[in-house]
Homo-oligomer: A and B are copies of this chain.
Amino acid sequence: MKSREIHLTQHFTGPVKPDYFEMTEVDLPDPGEGEIQVKNAWLSVDPYMRGRMIGIKTYVDPFRIGAPMEGGAVGQVIKSNADGFAEGDWVMSMNGWREGWTGSAAGITKLDANLLPLEAYLGVAGLTGMTAYIGIKRMIELKEGETLWMSAAAGAVGSAGVQFAKAMGAHVIATAGGAEKTAFCSEIGADAVVDYKAVDDLAGAVREAAKPFGGVDTYFENVGGDHLQAALDVIKPFGRIAACGMIARYNDDTPLPGPTNLTQIVAKKLTIRGFIAPDHFDIYESFVSDLSSWMMAGKVKTRDTVFEGIDKTPEAFMGLFTGQNIGKMLVKL
């Protein structure tokens, strides 16, 4: 099988440009002992990938130049030389940004194509959903009746989190940019929605929106910058903040200064916890159990933004930073 794949041409800071990616075609070898050959059907692009393009080790190694990029991918086994994997099996791997791959079956997860739509394994039922779940459940420890401010609430993690928080009996204030996104936030059950692009005073608008619910107890940080400043301003004493991303900051050419009101951390006795999902796989069973019951009760809707074709993968990825996606950003092959 031939496979087209996307390579990174250089490490960089600042905005992502199309030049930084190139597509090449390779011949996939037949699978050796313990290996499988997989044809990918769905690829995930995620904000965290930006960190691996800088060339500095953060929580994972940088992407290598001249090697295929990596990322979540759902595909179907074409040839198998590994116990437990048969032709036609659906699997999830980190071998994304490519049409297919031959490699070890170790660590590859088999998927049940009857249980959920395949692409959901990259979204609400995958790392994206787990990230929202961990943030709300383990970092924030959200309680019934409390109020959560979800930033980037129409995004992949945000829209999952809004619905999980509602299912847990909390009030949710959602912020998002533009009419289509705010409408989506209402549709998935946010109690109040603020269009951050339409207000001058984000803190004031969120404070007002949260008034009927007794104010903002907790904040889910996906954005950084002015959103974090507003959150520190608005949040009530003893507030808890979970931070799994600060997308507004990832493409800065030079690092920009942070909020001017960090002393609120002391004054309000806040807790801020940064996290990434892979450190919390021990929560997986609890996640699957909660998610299943919420889905069966019709409490979780999903929506994806889909680009088609391997060549569109860089465009899909770049779209994350200009707010092109509602729900999960995916590439369909």
Contact = CB atoms under 8 A, between A and B. Distances in A.
A259 interface: yes
How many chain A residues sit at the interface, stated as a range, is 35 or more
A333 interface: no
Interface in A240-262: 243-246, 249-250, 255-262
Contacts of A244: 266
Most chain B beta-carbon neighbours within 10 Å: one of A267, A273, A279: A267
Contacts of A270: 272-274
B259 A267 contact: no
Contact of A261 (B51, B255, B262): B255
A305 B257 CA distance: 36
A272 B265 contact: yes
Nearest to A225: B262
B274 A224 contact: no
A274 B269 contact: yes
A228 B262 contact: yes
A255 to B, nearest CB: 4
Most chain B beta-carbon neighbours within 10 Å: one of A228, A261, A266: A266
Contact of A243 (B51, B228, B266, B273): B266
Contacts of A267: 51, 58-59, 274
A58 B268 CA distance: 7
A257 B260 contact: yes
A319 interface: no
21 contacts: A59-B267, A59-B269, A243-B265, A244-B266, A246-B263, A249-B262, A249-B263, A255-B261, A257-B257, A257-B259, A258-B259, A258-B262, A264-B274, A266-B274, A268-B274, A270-B273, A270-B274, A271-B271, A271-B272, A271-B274, A272-B273
Interface of A: 51, 58-59, 224, 228, 237, 243-246, 249-250, 255-276, 279
Given A266-B276, A269-B275, A271-B274, 10 more contacts: A244-B266, A246-B262, A257-B257, A257-B259, A257-B260, A266-B274, A268-B274, A269-B279, A270-B274, A271-B272
